[in-house]
Chain A
Amino acid sequence: MTVTAVAPARRARLDLSWPVLIGFALILCALIVLPMSWLVYFSVTDKGHFTLANFVKLATDPTFIDPLVTTVILATSSAVICCAVAAPMGWLIARTDMPLRRTIRALVTASFVTPPFLGAIAWELLAAPNSGLLNQAWRALLRDPQAEPLFDIYTLPGLIFVVSCYTFPYVFVLVANALDRIPGDLEDASSILGGRTWTTARRVTIPLALPALLAGALVAFLQAMTLFGSPAILAIPAGFHTMTTKIWSLFQYPPKLELAAAASLPLLVLTVLLLRAEHMILGRRSYALVGGRQSDPRLVRLGAWKWAALGFAFLVLLNPVFLPYGALLNAAFSRVATQIVSFGNFTLRNIEFVFFELSATKLAVRNTLILGVSSATVGTLIAVVISYVTARKAIAGWRALAFLATAPIAVPGIVLGVGLFLSYTRPPFVLYGTLWILLVAFVTIALPAAYQQLQAAFRSVSVDLEEASRILGATRLQALAHITAPLLRTSVIATWCFIFVGVIRELSAAIILFTSETKVISVLIFDLNESGDLGAIAVLGLIMLVITFAVVIAINRIPGFGAIRLRNA
């Protein structure tokens, strides 16, 4: 290590650590404490007077109770379905000799980066009761054009299915990673004691993975509960609301901000409670998983069953990946969005329209890229500093910083959107109408996961190297810049890409905060869906996926990229 540059020690120099750290604490307060305070304030006021009327309305008006009940049903069912599918999938991928395991993992990642609202639109193309491609195929199979549809996506079960499709990867990643880490010697011990393959799986592997599965269920519940795009696309045509679409509808003219703030609080409280539960479960898990990996996990030999297993995996992946992407690709090149492309109806009209006629395309793509890059950069920077401080316990208040950085995970996107709207449409900080407010939203949303990732990375770097540098006269910041940062390069890049991807698929906060000049691709797609322009959506969606996949592939080339958590749009 070259240390000559900082060798002349003991020069009186201002250590910038404190101002920087206080500055970051203030930033975090602006990101989280300010919007949440406004949210609470608005929820208990009516034109400036204190009142609990908003909550009374919330608790007694069926137009609020029904969406809340629907949301709970949606979230619970999705969590159950996700676990039922992700557990066997995760086990097959992590612990068996099923063929094509790497490919399947990559494909699950593909469903991970697919924005849920885009998936919902693709499923409209597939399973709208009359025009849906699958229902058309079903009727062709029966040779009965009048047959009842096989699927109706505009129903609560339809919504639960689509939400599950794009929530399942969260559970899968948690389960598969947990199974990856279970040391093989525990299973060996079971075998030596006479346990057969299935006994070992039942008595050892599954119990060890169970906490991760439960944590996954909670994450799935939260994701399904806070999702905005999919219910807006599938529930409203069917004539019902979820909490998120209800909150959003309160922003329509004439806006009822106080009620929107009050309606946001149940989501916030529920999220906090569930995260406490998750924390307790994950806390329990630590007894089982002993630090690093003792020996490689033993792969269960499936024998002839491996082909059945592969069939199952592909059947599962049909729903979030193959079918929707096929439907979007088809719609992009077909004169009628729900007709299979043929010589008769092949068209480049949609491509031409999106690239050369749609005047919002350029602006939306530009805004999305600017926001993606800047949010990723700012978010990574904040996460690096805070995870450094907390990993090294560098200042007295590090616990508060850690809490602030993790707190946004309890704030659903749409609730954050409402809070930021209330905070930054009035002096002293008028950010509404600029990209700044979206930057604030996206950084806040991404911060908890970015912080968790980087904190784990910091813990893996020995403190000795930094101390050597400081003994030689470097300040904390110099040590960080010259010693620690280079060692963490891969984690930092992975975090950057991760935030970038999250920004591109974000809809729920953006839908509250955008203005005409600050539109992003996700909002544009949502707009187009409301006027039924499916061909243009397909093209824009594919553009979005190309951008996203380019970044995700870059992530996957970086070694050591582990469990990630994407926030839902």
Chain B
Amino acid sequence: MLTRRTVLASSTALAASAAFATRVAAAPAAEAVTPALIEAAKKEGKVVWYTSIDLAVAERLAKSFEAKYQGVAVRVERSGAERVFQRIGQEYSSNIRAVDVVNSSDASHFVAWKRDGWLAPYVPEDVAKFFPAEHRDPDGLFATCRVTLSVIGYNTTLVKAEDAPKSFADLLDPQWKGKIVKSHPGYSGGTMTATYQTARDLGWEFFEKLARQNVMQVQSMTDPPKKLALGERAVMSDGAEYVLALLKEDGKPVEPVYAVEGSPLINGPNGIFKGAPNPNAARLFQSYSFSPQAQQLIIDVGGLRSVHPQAKEKSGRKLLSEIKLMKDDPAAVEKMSDEIKARYTKMFRV
């Protein structure tokens, strides 16, 4: 466990963690789940969760919450993180308050929402007790609910293991022309995060060359693994590690590749909105999301990774400590996201 935490810690934004260290003292006190909170949540009867987690996984988490707290229904509003961000912005600018809790695979969104003052402070007990400082906001507005990677992958019936690409550089080989599927940073927050890290470490030339490989352009980072499983394309240049893991465990002919240059790291925080129409149910759901039970669930049935030290990695999956990671940097993504979208659209034409 220690190793995983250390790795995660070292891989997180330096600028952010430096700021965190001095201000932790100001964080609001942790709040336990009290019978009064449960009662109030039941009175509200529902919670609306905007998320970019793969729909099937998100609904499983929602159903487990509903089973534990009967009488509080979860409505999952699932779309790509960039779409979720746009939707919330569009709704808020029209004075529509629909979202209670949000989860985004683009951690930079929380930088923006925090700056706008849209998030409500709330620190679940588990977050206060167990979560590493670099995975929680010093002001108690959000914490990392899930971790995953953007990985390369291939279809094992179409590509032999020894022929599979080992690196981002390999993807540019002419043999993969017309055989690659990839997701879109204008839709997917995970892909936005990954595009930033890849362009930073390998340069935009990589994407310029990749664009000439006639890629199949899908939207969500959960889609390339599904297209691989169908055999629609042989290789994916980016895609959600957790969806690929689930498909592989389900017996589909897919295999991840952890690129030698490093795999982009994607942290997905959860936070509550100040304008939440169901504030108590939102708190209850937020607490539940960080509980050992939920964190174990997202590993076991979701293929995701958790920073909760009590959550156990599922056997057979590669440990994060064994993987070379790229560094995440939400503050930088926040500054560059419009530019990344514009550059990407220009290169890939959609």
Residues of chain A having any CB pair with chain B under 8 Å: 63, 128-131, 154, 235-241, 249, 252-255, 336-338, 353, 357-360, 363, 425, 430, 432-433, 515-517, 527-528, 530-534, 536
Interface residues in B247-275 (C-beta closer than 8 Å to A): 252
Residues of A within 8 A of B119 (CB): none
Q: Interface readout for B58-102 with A: 1 if CB under 8 Å, 0 if not?
A: 011011000000000111111110110111011101111011000
- List the B residue with the shortest CB-CB distance to A66: B349
- Which listed residue, B50, B55, B216, touches A516 by the CB 8 Å rule? B50
A-B contact pairs, 30 of them (CB 8 A): A129-B232, A130-B230, A130-B231, A131-B230, A236-B219, A237-B218, A238-B217, A239-B350, A240-B350, A252-B82, A252-B86, A252-B186, A253-B89, A254-B338, A336-B229, A338-B230, A338-B231, A357-B63, A359-B73, A359-B76, A360-B75, A360-B77, A425-B94, A515-B90, A516-B99, A527-B79, A531-B78, A531-B220, A531-B223, A533-B56
CB nearest neighbor in A for B231: A131
Instruction: Judge if B227 is at the interface, Cβ distance under 8 Å.
Output: yes
Asked whether, in the complex, the Cβ of B83 is within 8 Å of the Cβ of A236, the reply is: no
Q: List chain A residues, Cβ under 8 A from B231.
A: 130-131, 338
Q: Which residues of A contact B214 (CB under 8 A)?
A: 239
Task: Write out the residue numbers on chain B whose beta carbons fall within 8 Å of the beta carbon of A337.
Answer: 230
Q: How many residues of B contact A (CB 8 A)?
A: 57
Say how far B188's CB is from chain A's closest CB, in angstroms: 9
Contact in complex: A359, B59 (CB < 8 Å) = yes
Say yes or no: A516-B349 contact (C-beta < 8 A), given A430-B95, A433-B91, A531-B223: no
Residues of B within 8 A of A130 (CB): 230-233
**Which of B48, B59, B99 has the most chain A CB atoms closer than 10 A to its own CB?**
B59
Q: Can you name the residue of chain A whose Cβ is closest to the Cβ of B62? A: A359
Given contacts A236-B350, A516-B98, contact A531 B219 (CB under 8 A): yes
In the complex, B113 has a CB within 8 A of chain A: no
- Contact between A359 and B75 (Cβ–Cβ < 8 Å)? yes
Complex formed: what's the CA distance from A338 to B230 in Å? Answer: 7
Find out whether the CB atom of A336 lies under 8 angstroms from the CB atom of B230.
yes
The answer, yes or no, to whether B348 is at the interface (CB within 8 Å) is yes
Instruction: Report Cα–Cα, A558/B343, bound state, in Å.
Output: 56
Minimum C-beta distance from A550 to chain B (A): 27
> Across the interface, do A531 and B62 meet the contact criterion of CB distance under 8 Å?
no
Query: Which chain A residues lie closer than 8 Å to B48 at the CB level?
Result: 516
B78 & A527 in contact (Cβ 8 Å cutoff) = yes
Interface status of B312 (Cβ within 8 A of chain A): no
Give CA–CA (A236, B187) in the complex, Å.
12
The prevalent SS among residues of A at the interface is loop
Contacts of B350 in A (CB 8 A): 235-236, 239-241, 249
Selected from A358, A360, A532, the residue in CB contact (under 8 A) with B218 is A532
Q: Which residue of A lies closest to B59 (CB)?
A: A357
B340 to chain A: closest CB distance in Å? 12
Give a binary string over B334-350; 1 marks a CB under 8 Å from any A CB, 0 the rest.
Answer: 00001001000110111
Question: Do the beta carbons of A530 and B219 come within 8 Å of each other?
Answer: yes
Would you list which residues of chain B between 200 and 243 have a CB under 8 Å from chain A?
214-220, 222-223, 226-227, 229-233
Looking at the assembled complex, report how far the CB atom of A254 sits from the nearest CB atom of chain B, in whole angstroms: 6
Interface status of B300 (Cβ within 8 A of chain A): no
A252 to B82, CA, bound (A): 8
Q: Which residues of A contact B230 (CB under 8 A)?
A: 128, 130-131, 336-338
Q: Given A236-B350, A252-B186, A516-B48, are A532 and B76 neighbors across the interface (CB < 8 Å)?
A: no
Q: Name which of B50, B77, B233, B346 has the most chain A CB atoms within 10 A of its CB.
A: B77
Which residue on B lies nearest to A130, using beta carbons? B232
A239 and B98 CA atoms in complex are apart in Å by 34
Docked-complex contact B98 and A517, CB < 8 angstroms = yes
Contact B220 A516 (CB under 8 A): no
Q: Does B126 contact A (CB under 8 A)?
A: no
Complex: chain A residue closest to B83, CB-CB: A252
A239–B348 CB distance below 8 A = yes
A154 to B233, CA, bound (A): 13
> Which applies to chain B's interface (DSSP): helix, strand, loop or mixed?
mixed
Contact A360 B76 (CB under 8 A): yes
A357 to B57, CA, bound (A): 10
Contact of A516 with B218 at beta-carbon distance under 8 Å, contacts A236-B350, A357-B59, A432-B94 already known = no
CB pair A253–B85 under 8 Å, yes or no, is yes
Is A432 touching B349 in the complex (CB atoms < 8 A)? no
Is B54 part of the contact surface with A, judged by Cβ < 8 Å? yes
Assembly CA distance A227 to B91 (angstroms): 26
B96 touches A432 (CB 8 A): yes
Residue of B nearest to A530 (CB): B219
A363 to B76, CA, bound (A): 11
Q: Which of B86, B222, B346 contacts A255 (CB 8 A)?
A: B86
Contacts of B90 in A (CB 8 A): 255, 515
A538 shortest CB reach to chain B, Å: 13
Cβ-defined partner of B223 (8 Å) among A336, A433, A532: A532
Contact A532 B222 (CB under 8 A): yes
Q: In the complex the two chains form, what is the Cα distance from A129 to B158 in whole Å?
A: 14
A515 to B77, CA, bound (A): 10
- CA A425 – CA B94 in complex, angstroms? 6
Cβ < 8 Å to A, chain B residues 299-350: 338, 341, 345-346, 348-350
**Is B96 touching A515 in the complex (CB atoms < 8 A)?**
yes
* Chain A residues within an 8 Å CB radius of B50: 516
On whether the beta carbons of B220 and A532 are closer than 8 Å, the reply is: yes
Contact flag A353-B56 (CB < 8 Å), given A253-B85, A254-B338: yes
A-chain residues with CB within 8 Å of residue B95 when the two chains form the complex: 430
* Complex CA distance for A210 and B173, rounded to whole angstroms: 54
Could you tell me if A363 and B219 are in contact, using CB atoms closer than 8 angstroms? no
Instruction: Output the least CB separation between B8 and chain A (Å).
Output: 26
Which residues from A are CB-within-8-Å of B233? Answer: 130
10 closest Cβ pairs, A-B complex: A532-B223, A253-B86, A433-B96, A532-B226, A531-B220, A131-B230, A131-B232, A530-B219, A357-B59, A516-B77
List residues of chain B with CB within 8 A of the CB of A255: 86, 90
Contacts of B79 on A, CB cut-off 8 Å?
527, 530
Does A533 lie within 8 Å of B82, measured CB to CB? Answer: no
Whole-angstrom CA separation of A357 from B60 in the bound complex: 8
CB pair B349–A530 under 8 Å, yes or no, is: no
A213, B187: Cα distance in complex, Å: 42
- Specify which of A235, A360, A515 is in contact with B98 (CB 8 Å cutoff): A515
Chain A CB within 10 A, most for which of B98, B187, B350: B350
CA of A63 to CA of B345, assembled, Å: 10
Known pairs A131-B230, A360-B77 / 8 extra A-B pairs, C-beta < 8 Å: A63-B349, A130-B230, A236-B219, A253-B341, A359-B76, A433-B91, A516-B99, A531-B219
- Known contacts A240-B349, A240-B350, A338-B230; is-contact A531 B82 (Cβ 8 Å): no
Question: Once the chains bind, are A154 and B216 in contact (CB under 8 Å)?
Answer: yes
B186 neighbours in A (Cβ, 8 Å): 249, 252
Contact partners of B232 in chain A: CB under 8 A: 128-131, 338
Of A131, A235, A528, A536, which is in contact with the most chain B CB atoms at under 10 Å from its CB? Answer: A131
A255-B98 Cα distance, complex, nearest whole Å: 20
Query: Are B91 and A516 in touch, CB under 8 angstroms?
Result: yes
The residue that B55 contacts in the complex, of A254, A433, A533, with Cβ under 8 A, is A533
Q: B349 touches which one: A129, A154, A239, A358 (CB < 8 A)?
A: A239
Q: What is the CB-to-nearest-CB distance from B322 to chain A, in angstroms, rounded to a whole number?
A: 28
The residue on A at minimum CB distance from B218 is A237
Q: In the complex the two chains form, what is the Cα distance from A252 to B84 in whole Å?
A: 10
Q: How far is the CB of B65 from chain A (nearest CB, A)?
A: 11
A433 near B94 with CB under 8 A, answer: yes
Q: Are A532 and B227 in contact (CB under 8 A)?
A: yes
CB distance from A64 to the nearest CB of B (A): 12
Given contacts A252-B82, A515-B87, contact A531 B54 (CB under 8 A): yes
Assembly CA distance A353 to B56 (angstroms): 8
Complex Cα spacing A154 to B222, Å: 20
**Chain A residues with CB below 8 A from B89, complex form:** 253
Q: Is the CB of B74 within 8 A of A359?
A: yes
